[in-house]
Amino acid sequence: MNDPVAVLPAPTPGLPKVRRIGFSAPLKWLGLGWRDLWRQPAASLFYGIAIAVTGAVILGVTANLAYLFAAAITGFLLVAPMLAAGLYELSRRYLANEPASLPDSMLAWKRNPSALVSFGLLSILAGTAWQVASIVIVALFYKGSALQPLAMMIEVLINPQHYLMFFIYICAGGVFAAVVFALSVVSMPMLVDRRCELLCALTTSINAVAENPLPLAFWAFVIMLLTGLGFATALVGLVIVMPWLGHASFHAYKELVE
């Protein structure tokens, strides 16, 4: 749990330095995030409820649109970090021993508004791009009859004639998710914590992943696992999972970036 941390030189002048961390570091982040979650549970769970309701609305809108349903789930995960800005601000204030309440957390956007808005627009663009890609893959490779989304997903999983589509969909989604993760794992908490340009935050995030591929791959797996559990409980679990991961993500950023 207490892995040695090595400070690495910044690869580009003007960029923050990133640290090399141990493989088990994500477990420490989860512990710190869990502690932050229950310091002021009403404030943290407010964001959990907001994120869960947003997810429910997105899935409700696409419930009868088989071409969009699966993409809506992953698209929701792409924009979730933008919704967690208040959680990052709470953790920042806890570490700085500053007043921390729900109204205080809503001031996160005032510190770096232009870059945060730009990140939000980039997240929406990424989610839209994935939905378009998903529609194209289904249109080109799905050979079955029109079905409700859940029935269609089950058919794709059990019918051998759809295995090529399933393989292409998973590979495309995996590559897309890896790129988005590399761009966002550090950038959003960094934009909440300090004044910097969006390009600086995105580049620092990529540098952190490049220096710590295995620990951050483990972190990505933990995020997917816990989020999957949240969805498996009809989104109810997201009320706790999302603020937990939001607080933990801020601690990940603080350990990764000097």
**pLDDT tens, residue by residue, 33-73:** 999 999 999 999 999 998 888 878 777 776 666 556 666 66
Record the pTM: 0.84
pLDDT of res. 117: 83
What pLDDT, on the 0 to 100 scale, is given for residue 247?
A: 95
Task: Evaluate whether residue 1 is within a structural domain.
Answer: no
Average pLDDT score over residue span 150-171: 73
191 in a domain, yes or no? yes
Q: Is residue 134 a part of any domain in this protein? A: yes
pLDDT at 191: 92
What total number of domains does the chain contain?
1
| pLDDT value for 66 | 56
Q: Whole-angstrom Cα distance, residue 235 to residue 204? A: 32
- Give the residue ranges of DSSP H helices in the chain: 25-37, 41-61, 66-83, 85-96, 102-105, 108-111, 113-141, 149-158, 163-184, 187-193, 198-211, 213-232, 238-256
What range does the domain containing 32 cover?
18-256
Q: Is residue 9 part of a domain?
A: no
Is 10 within a domain? Answer: no
How does pLDDT run across 134-152, given as a tens digit for each residue?
A: 778 877 777 766 555 556 6
Looking at residues 175-181, what average pLDDT do you find? 86
Q: Rounded mean pLDDT of 85-106?
A: 91
In a domain? residue 7: no
Residue 113 lies in a domain: yes
Tell me if 2 is assigned to some domain: no
